[in-house]
Structure 1
Amino acid sequence: MGHSPLVVRDLSVAYQKKPVLFDVSFEVPEGKLIGIIGPNGAGKSTLIKAALGLIPRLKGEVLVYGKPYKQQLLKVGYVPQRESVDWDFPTNALDVVMMGRYGRLGWFKRPGAADRQAAMECLDKVGMSKFADRQISQLSGGQQQRVFLARALAQDAQLYFMDEPFVGVDAATEKAIISLLNDLKRQGKTVLVVHHDLSTVTDYFDQVTLLNGRLMAFGETSEIFTEENLQRTYGGRLSILKTGPDSGTILGVR
């Protein structure tokens, strides 16, 4: 019996002594697309960063395939929020994607032709191969996001964390991203996505994690993504449009 891609146990995190996450526990099965949903300030990005060891934990543990993340670096890919990146850094799209290969190369090994080839294939998968030599500062937001995804693909991980990959991208890029996520899932990979557009959750994700400081609910989207759970998670900020006697269409968050 293999280990789950991700087990989070009793995770608590504080920023400058202010608690952000309390006692969050859940276990992620393999080969699923999982949305991390909740209001602003709910701790969604914090959850990912704590899982990746990018910020300290107050308590709790996070296991990636049964071991601490630090022992499983090659198994994990990460797409941070686009705003958190210095896009003026003088480098081109191909070089950014090549960075995804460095973990595989080991220390002091220079990337060779096979790595360039792999990086180009990843750019191709996100429709960006013709921009390989373009400076990242000259790319549109959607193009930058595609390059980031290509970098994560180049890592050839088993478990992916993506922090708001759909923010600020055009409809074509959104389509390209979701089809890429479904490709990863078909390969048996597991993807956790911080996501804020409630209208696409049921189309995009097999499972959802509803978060607001605490874990409000976790499980199959069809069972967990209910009006009742969303009201609990978002409080008064949720607006619902009734479309029929029994059905509620979720409009979004005020």
Structure 2
Amino acid sequence: MTDAWITVREGTPSNAPVTTTTGVSLDQQVTVGRAGHVVVGVDVVDSGISRVVATVTATSEGWTIKDTSRNGILIHPWGLAPLRATADVRLHWPLIGLRVLGAEPDARHWVLLECDQYSIDGSGRNQATGTTLQADPPRPLTPAEQQAIATVFEAILAWPPPLIPGEPLQLKQAGRRLGITASAVKVRLEGARTKAELLGLDRAVGVTDPSYLHLLVAAGYVRPPTHGYCSLAGFPPVADRD
């Protein structure tokens, strides 16, 4: 039975096609690396990629990622701020991008983790966010606020993660896309930011600063894509190896 999916994208900053997609079951340990169940650093040769850069497991409580890489792994949970992997990371999150760092600066090695069973409910189970809903949480974002958030932070909310990190749109750019003025976009974002403040945002930030977006995402106010990147493709499950 396939409960989760692991996809590899490798190439350059301008072109990194999918090399493999595999299905995994809960509690199945999967190694990633040049000699892993999921192969990284072979199709796009990189001497800085270890034989096993990580062991990944989809559990009932979320993803576990054990980093054994030589040069490190950057973790990009969908909609949240990226973080550097430590020896043992646990994340209850439906979409996670792992950027495996090698020796080639222009090479891109991405491992994408997907599991629809990990809902975002704001319960604070993610070590990456530490965010919990207040006793009286604010109302959901209005459709206008949702539209402004999706437009301004399109690159940050993209799945799969962009090969080159994207920046928020300027208010004028977003206004042109939405057919409204920059001031109107700002008003909508201010409404969303106010709700982030009620959720615990502890510092003043501008309306195009992703800090309050990350908090809204962690609390379940901004939802992930309905369908993941690879789970519809019907690829075979990964085979166990001794």
- When normalised by structure 1's length, the TM-score is 0.28
| Higher percent of residues as helix | 1
